[in-house]
Amino acid sequence: MQSMKAVQVHAYGGSDVLTYGEAPRPIPQAGEVLIKVHATTVNPFDCAVHTGYVSGYFQYELPLIPGTDVSGVVEAVGAGVSTFRKGDEVYARAGVMRPGAYAEYVAAPTADVALKPASLDHVHAAAIPHVTLTAWQALFVVGELKAGQTVLIHGAAGGVGHIAVQLARLRGAKVIGTASVNIGFLRELGVDEAINYATTPFENVVKGVDVVLDTIGGDTQERSWGVLKPGGILISTVQPPSQDAAAARGVRQAFIATAPPIAETLTEVAALVAAGKFRPEVSHVLPLREIQAAHGLLELHHTRGKIAIQVA
C-alpha cells in the first residue's frame, strides 16, 4: 500500500494530539474520487473531532485523519464514476464520517464533490465547502430567510459568519452583524448594521429580527431570545437552543448539524463566484506540518474569515 503525508489523531485531546507523519494513501471505492489535496482549512468541527467532543455522534476509529474541506485535483476515480476524470480541479467536503483532508490525498463520494470555481485558487476554494453548507442550511433551508426580512448574525466575521452575511445579502435580507476586532471587515462585507459586542450589548440596540444565526453559544445565545419577533427563529451552529425557552417566548429554535450531499450547493456557489457575487476570505495560510499552530489560531476566536492549510 502506498503512503502519504498526513495529520492523524491517535488519542483525543488538545491540538497537541494532531500528529504530522506517514499514513496509508486511500484507494477510491465505487462512487468515489481520489483527490490530490492542494489546500484544506481548519474548522471548529475539526477541533470537536480531535478533542473527542463528537465521538459519541460519529463512530470514529483511531488513528483518524481530520479535515472537512478540500480543494485539489482528481487523481483517480472509483468504479462507476463518470462525472469526473483524472485532472479535474474540484472542491469538496470530506472527512465528516470518514478519513479527512489533512493529508496529501483524500477519497470522497462524488455526491460531495463539485468542479472548483475557475476564478479561485485552491486556497480560497478550500475555504468554501463546510462553512457554506452550514450557512446555506441555516439561513435558507431551516430559517427560510426571505427578501425584506432581518437577520442578526453573531460572529459575523468568522468562517460561517462571513459566508452567511454574503448569502443573506444576496437573498435581499437586512443584515446585522456582531464582531469586535474585525468590525471594519463587517462593513467591507456590506452589513446594514455592524455592532461591536465588546462595547455595545447587542440586545440594547436590536429588536424584532426574523432570524438569529448564533455561532457563539453560551451567554450570547441566551441574550438573543429577546431580539426575536414573535414567530422568529434562533438557529445555532454550536449549541442546541432550549426548546422550553423558545416556547415560552413564542419563537422557534434549531440546531444545525449539516449533512451531505453537498455537491449541488457547491455547484450553485461556484456560479455565484463566477458572477462576482460571492468570495471567501482567507486570513492565514499555513503548511500542513504546522497544523497545531493553525488550530491554535482558530481557538483565539477572532478569526477573520478562514484559516487555510497549503498542502501541495
| Residue 162 sits in the same domain as residue 56 | no
| Residue 19 sits in the same domain as residue 64 | yes
Q: What is the CATH number of the domain that holds 37?
A: 3.90.180.10
Q: Residue 265 — left, alpha, or beta (φ > 0 → left; ψ -120 to 50 → alpha)?
A: alpha
- What total number of domains does the chain contain? 2
| Residue 156 sits in the same domain as residue 248 | yes
- Residue range 135-180, pLDDT digits in tens: 999 999 999 999 999 999 999 999 999 999 999 999 999 999 999 9
- Residue range 254-274, pLDDT digits in tens: 999 777 788 999 999 999 999
Using DSSP, state whether 200 is helix, strand or coil: coil
| Residue 110 sits in the same domain as residue 59 | yes
Residue numbers of the domain that contains 197? 131-255
Choose between 54 and 112: higher pLDDT.
112
- Residue range 68-127, pLDDT digits in tens: 999 999 999 999 999 999 999 999 998 778 889 999 999 999 999 999 999 999 999 999
> Kind and range of the H or E element at 49?
helix 44-51
Are 10 and 62 in contact, with CB atoms under 8 Å apart?
A: yes
| Residue 160 sits in the same domain as residue 67 | no
Domain assignment of residue 269, yes or no:
no
| Residue 138 sits in the same domain as residue 22 | no
Domain assignment of residue 66, yes or no:
yes
Quick one: DSSP state of residue 64? Answer: B
| Residue 13 sits in the same domain as residue 54 | yes
* Phi, psi (rounded to 5 degrees) for 95: 80, 10
| Residue 28 sits in the same domain as residue 124 | yes
Domain assignment of residue 267, yes or no:
no
Domain assignment of residue 271, yes or no:
no
Q: What is the pLDDT of residue 80?
A: 97
Domain assignment of residue 270, yes or no:
no
| Residue 191 sits in the same domain as residue 221 | yes
- Residue range 18-33, pLDDT digits in tens: 999 999 999 999 999 9
| Residue 116 sits in the same domain as residue 144 | no
* DSSP-derived secondary structure for 152-168: EETTTTSHHHHHHHHHH
Are 14 and 25 in contact, with CB atoms under 8 Å apart?
A: no
Quick one: DSSP state of residue 149? Answer: -
